[in-house]
Structures are given as C-alpha cells and as structure tokens.
Structure 1
Amino acid sequence: MRVVDCAGTSRTRGRAHGETLRDLIADAFARWAEATLSAQPPGAPGGGIDAYCERFLGETALLQSCARETPDLHDEMAGIAEGANQPLHRLAAYNMMDEQWWFDARPATPPPGCSLIAMPVEGGHLLAQNMDLPGQMDGSQVALRLSGPDIPDTIVLSAAGLIGLTGANAAGVAVAVNTLLMLGHNPGGLPVAFVVRHALAARDGDEARVRLADTRHASGQHYAIATRDGVAAVECSAGGCASVTLAGPGRLLHTNHPLASEDIDGEALSRLDEGGFTGNSRRRMDWLQRKEQALTDAEEVRALLDEPESPICLRANRNGGSSTFASVLYEMTDRPHVSMRSGFAGSSLWQSIGFKSSTEEMASA
C-alpha cells in the first residue's frame, strides 16, 4: 500500500496527490475508460471517454453540488487534476463511482459489494471492512495521509485519483461504507466520495452524524461511524437518512442490502435481484452473523478478513468482475490506530499507518 502525504490547503493537498501519482492515475484512467466504454449498451452515444464524462456531468448536477456543498473538496479534486495533468471533467466523473453505477444501470454487471464489521474492543470501538470494487481498479490502491489547517489529520483508503473511499481521523472519527443501489438516488445530490470526506472532516461522532443528516445524498449508501465512545449507522439516500439498529452495544454488521431505509427504487431492486447482487449480499451477511459472536478483538477481526475462501473475499474471476480492492481496520481508542491491506485476503501484508504527516515506518502485522 503506497502512502502519499498531502499537506496544506485543499488545493495544495490535491496537487500533491496528482503530482505524486501522475503515472498511476493515467494508468487507472485508461483502464477505467476501457471498462466504462466497453460496457455501454448498443446505440449509446459515441465520442470516447471525454464525451461520456461530459454527458454524465451534463445530465446531472453532481459537480455543481460538489462545488456548492463541499467547495474544499471540489478544490482538492481540481488540484488533483492539475497535478496529474488530467482534465477536470474526467477527474470529476472518476470520483463519482457510485453515481456512475446508477447512471449507467447495467443489469448484466451489478456493482461490487462491501462487508463491514463494528464492535467494542478494550478502550473503545473497532470498525473494519472489505472494500470491494471493479477488478480493473486493482493496482491503484493508495493510502492518503491528509493534513491541513481546515481538517483533522486524516488517513483515507483510496485509489489513485480518487479523493477517498473510507478512512479515519486523528480526532477519533472513522467512517466506513456499503453501497445500497436499490435506494433512491438524486442526480443533484452530493456524491458518495464527497460525503465520506465531508464526514471525516468532523471533530467528533456527533458532528459527523449531523453532517450526514444535513446532506442531500446523490446515492444510496450505508455509513458507519465509529469513535472511542460508540458506533452509529445510517442508511442515506435521496429520501434522507434512516438510523440502523445495532446488533448489540457497539456491534454492527452490514453488507449491501438495506436494514432500515424504506426509500426503495423498485426498478433498481428488481435489476439487482435478477443480477444476483442482493442474494450475494444476504449470503455475506448470514456468514458474518455466524462468525460475529466469536469475535473479541482486532486480531480476530483481522483473521476473519484474512480468510481467502470466505464469501466476503471477492475475486474478479468468480464475482462478475468484482474483487476485494483492500481491507481496512480502524481501532478508535485513546490513540486511534489505522491498518490497511491491499487486495484480497492473502495477497499482501497488513500495514500500520500513523497519522503524522511526516514519513513514518510502516510495520507489517
């Protein structure tokens, strides 16, 4: 897992990201463009990836929402584009992954899933997940170590060119996610990546929850928030946010079907059911429920995520092109601790990543 330090103002942080990862971003964009264009239905407008991006952004108000609701993150994204020598419209579309899934709505290729665990541990709470993404994204894994006058020191799992996927900050707030594409979407709402980073700028769990509740959401998504003092979970969509009842004090399991929200898009649900996505989500949840009661600490959770033949470990060749992109484990105690692993179980070692913006040694777990 490559760690990239991005310090300073939002624009400066973005430029550091783009400049440092320029070649990796170019490679990731080429693979994304090929996957995006090859999946377009017959008769779809042509013109290549730039025409697609302009159509996607032109037929939605997602970019305008980013600029209005999170100008700092819009600025950071613009900085990435500048540093990477990429056009902003391409960078913007790439950062709207969940929104692409409902915009393209391809029934034959349902989106990836994610499996999430939260539980109390000695001195606080733990939040962990497998982040499952399209297989062509493998190889672009990075950890962004962000610092600046406007945010707590923050570590996010990301892909080169993305502002972030999930993360934790030094103030003691961690956020993890599960896509819920069967929930209502809003083409004028705030995209998921920007919601995650907006929540991670909070200084405590209450502020993070308020930020989620006050956001107009573009996509259906489950957000789990862990702090030393507890765990909260909300399922957000165009219709608002619904609180998820925890399985026990500080205990939460989630995959990719709603546990609380009733803002169901019937057409999307039928498409996901027919594609096997909902059934796969329920199988992963059933497996987690059977395993969860035996978990007592971070090492046992890490061992669970390290089971290569478990249903929560996705491989592209047997999961419709979806693969476990990375795993994260956030221990939110008096001294928050972040560890991450690239790829699916057994493909690489876990790394411990410190919050300090200066270069640190990373220990293999």
Structure 2
Amino acid sequence: MTTIPRISLSGTNYEIGYSHGSSLKAQIARQIEFYYGMFQYSSKLDREGVHSRARDYEATILKLVPNLHQEIVGIAEGAEVDVLDIVALNVRSEIALGEFQDGCTSLSWKVTGEDGKTVQYLAQNWDWVRPVQQNLALVEIQQAEKPTIKMVTEAGIIGKIGYNSASVGVLLNALRAPPTDTTKLPVHVLLRLCLESRTAAEALSQIEKYGAASAQHILLADLSGAQCLELSPIKHHYIYPNSDNFLAHTNHPIENIAIMEPSQFPGSKERLERTYKLVETMSSKNISTKQLREMIFADGENGNFGICAPEDMCKPKWFRTMTLFNIVTCLKDGEPTAEVVFYNGSTDWIDPQNVVTL
C-alpha cells in the first residue's frame, strides 16, 4: 500500500505554503502532470488554456483572501513550479466541472458514544482516481490566533477534508452542474476557510460572504450539530438532520432546485438510499468509529457504484474512480479526533492495522 506522508506546517501563510511545496515537491509534480492530462481529456484545455482559467480564479483569490493567495504562492515557490499550476490544482473541481465522477459518500450522526457521552461523527468514503492516492498527505497547520487544522488533502491543495482543534469539521461531495462563477471562491478555498473557523456558524458566514464558484456539497459540523450545504453560484440550500440526528449525502442535489444536473450522477441515489438503509440496522447508542467503517463504509453492494467501490476498469483511465480512503471524525468535548484508512484494493482494507490517526 502507498505510504501517505504526514507534514506539520506553521508560520505565516507564505511560510506554510513554502514548507508545503518543498515537503511535497514530488507529489505536486505528479499532481500537475496528472491533472493537466485530465483537463486535456475532459475539457479540451491545453496548459495555456488551463492557465487562462486559473488566472481568473487567482484574481478572485487575491482580492477576497489575499493571505491564502500568499500560501498558494509559497507552495509554488517551494515546489519550484508556476503559481498558476498551483492555482489550477486548487480550482481543479471548477475546471473539470461536469466530467468527473468521484462517487463520495458522507454522513453526520450525533449519537451516544462508547463512553456514554454525546459524540458528533462526521464520516466519509472519498472516491477518486487511483493515481491521486500516491499524492495524498496528512497535513497539520498551526496558525497564530486560529484553530489547528488537521486534514487529508491532495498535494498542492490548501483545503480539503478534516477538522480543527475547535471541533469544526468538514466533508466534501462533488456535484456536477453548471454554471461556474470566477468572481466567487473555489470549493477547496472555502473548505480551508471552514477549517480556520471556530464554529460552524462562523464557517457558514464565510461561505455566505464570499459565495461558491461551483455547485458542490459541504457537510459542515461542530458540537452543536451538522448541516448539509448544497452550494451553487446561483443559490445555496441547507439541509438539517432528521429526528435521529442523522444526515447523509452523495453526489446529487437533494433539495437545492437551483442545481440542475446535465445528467444523473451514476449510482449516487442508490448509495444514498443504501446508507440510510444500513443506518436503520444500527443503534444510535455506543457507536464507535470501527462500527461505522465496518457496517457502512466497507459495504460493497452495487459494485463499482457501491459505498466502497473498486476501480472501474471499463472507464477511461482519467475517470476510473474507486474508494481511496475513509475518514471518521469524532467531535466531542475535549480533544476531537479522526481515524483514516487508505483503501488497498483488498477486502481487509479496514483492518485495524491499517488505521492511522489524523
């Protein structure tokens, strides 16, 4: 199985970026090569075409969140690449809009934990293409007067899936729908702003202030509860937990009628239905991270369209999606924690010996 690097970053945004870029230089080079191939295949964009789009987003990032632009510059200089290449990585969801099929399944569940105390779980299988797995990293970011961030991200990308020391956590599901708006912030930048927030309400205010450049779903939570944020450049819509304090989301809009998919995301509705069905078989008391992995996220029903999905060899190489990792975040009074398991292609992938603490 691929060894996933773990890096700790601190200092100014530029210093954080430079350390990120220099520490993950090889991974960033592979990311750029891979995504430029994907952009050429999916969007018919050569390098200059990608840079042309990236320039518009760079101007927005510089205007709205100049500190994070400095971090992007730092990554580029640390990795010794063009800054527009790093911008392109951070807006890859917006550039490849409508073509990707990363079939992620995410959930939030507020339950009674093993110790009898209330626990807010955030958990997700993240599905994408196999070549990206070797470019993932476990990242910790310490910044003055901000919560410490812990996340699983792709090399070169400043925000992704994770949580912070203030017990704010985020998950991500891609939604494939036009339009995009380069005057608003890309989803990976919004995720970083969420992870810098001290409460879910503060994170939500950042999203509402800056807007989302593309249609995406963020599952946002803190100790007070969770919300599904179905985001769109046109209109946001928020979904709240059911009577069992449970929420789940996959890769289609559930309630936001402003998000008009050009085609149905394969398997998304079936995965969502399957998730709710599996949860109905579980008690909301004494739930553990191990139970969530074994009873929900290891489920292989529906094959390539399942919650835990093997690689689909029938698709073009750019879109052979598969489950790459599972994360279960536990938000509770005291120290929040998360466990991550990286898929190794076999049935024993969730074995305890494969579990790493984020």
Written as runs of structure 1 = structure 2, the 5 A alignment for 1:314-325 is 314-318=309-313, 320=315, 321-325=320-324
Tell me what 1:33 maps to.
36
Residue type at the aligned position of 1:190? L
Tell me what 1:312 maps to.
307
Written as runs of structure 1 = structure 2, the 5 A alignment for 1:1-365 is 1-41=4-44, 48-49=46-47, 51-58=48-55, 61-102=56-97, 105-106=98-99, 110-121=100-111, 122=113, 123-182=118-177, 184-265=179-260, 269-270=261-262, 272-273=263-264, 277=265, 279-295=266-282, 296=284, 297=287, 298-303=289-294, 304-307=296-299, 311-318=306-313, 320=315, 321-334=320-333, 335-343=335-343, 346-347=348-349, 349-353=354-358
Aligned equivalents of 2:357 and 2:30: distance in 1? 27
Per-residue Cα deviation, 1:233-270 (whole angstroms, up to 9, x for no partner): 221111232111323343101001112211133xxx23
Change (3 A) 1:245 1:203: closer
3-state secondary structure, aligned to 2:326 = strand
3-state secondary structure, aligned to 2:267 = helix
Aligned equivalents of 2:231 and 2:38: distance in 1? 28
Residue type at the aligned position of 2:290? E
3-state secondary structure, aligned to 1:225 = strand
Aligned equivalents of 1:79 and 1:322: distance in 2? 31
3-state secondary structure, aligned to 1:119 = strand
Query: Gapped runs of 5+ residues in structure 2?
Result: none
Residue type at the aligned position of 1:352? T
CA contact (8 A) 1:174 1:226 kept: yes
Query: Gapped runs of 5+ residues in structure 1?
Result: 354-365
Tell me what 1:362 maps to.
none
Per-residue Cα deviation, 1:174-216 (whole angstroms, up to 9, x for no partner): 0112112236432321000000001111111221222222222
CA contact (8 A) 1:314 1:344 kept: no
* TM-score using structure 2 length: 0.86
Aligned equivalents of 1:39 and 1:213: distance in 2? 30
Change (3 A) 1:150 1:13: farther
Aligned equivalents of 1:82 and 1:111: distance in 2? 31
* TM-score using structure 1 length: 0.85
Identity %: 22
3-state secondary structure, aligned to 1:238 = coil
Equivalenced residue count is 332
CA contact (8 A) 2:39 2:95 kept: no
